[in-house]
Amino acid sequence: MSARNENYPWLSHYGHYNFFEEKMRQHGIVVSLTTEAQGIYELTRKQGSTIRIFICECYAFGVAEYVETINKLGPVDAVIINSSWCGYSHDAKRHCRNNRVGLFTIGEFMGALRHNNFWSYLTDSQKEYFKEQGWL
């Protein structure tokens, strides 16, 4: 479900991604950040790997939204939920993780960037939930 924007790909209500861009420029692992299209970024890390990112602003990002994203935008390496009033489902996190795609809030992504297998990054509460479900 989109957030204040009924048109895919659920672009920012504000028309920019300044907060995301600022946080990435401040991160010690990020070497460069370039815009491919509105809401699509290419981020290069110090270790040389490049991550293609989709910034999403939808209320509830689930597996169906992920499938729609890759069908319309092509493969992505990470999906970042752009606002504090939006979120994603545990099933979507698991589905993306199984496909080696990271699904994060901006804060989670900041932590995941330090890991080679960034897509597998889980917060402590996510680890606990995944263990309870038998997914870890």
Q: Is a pLDDT exceeding 60 seen at residue 8?
A: no
Mean pLDDT of the chain: 87
Q: Report the share of the chain in percent with pLDDT over 90.
A: 60
Q: How confident is the model at residue 2 (pLDDT cuts 50, 70, 90)?
A: very low
Rounded (5°) CA angle 109-113-117: 105
Q: Is a pLDDT exceeding 90 seen at residue 39?
A: no
Report pTM: 0.86
pLDDT value for 1: 39
Average pLDDT for 99-112: 95
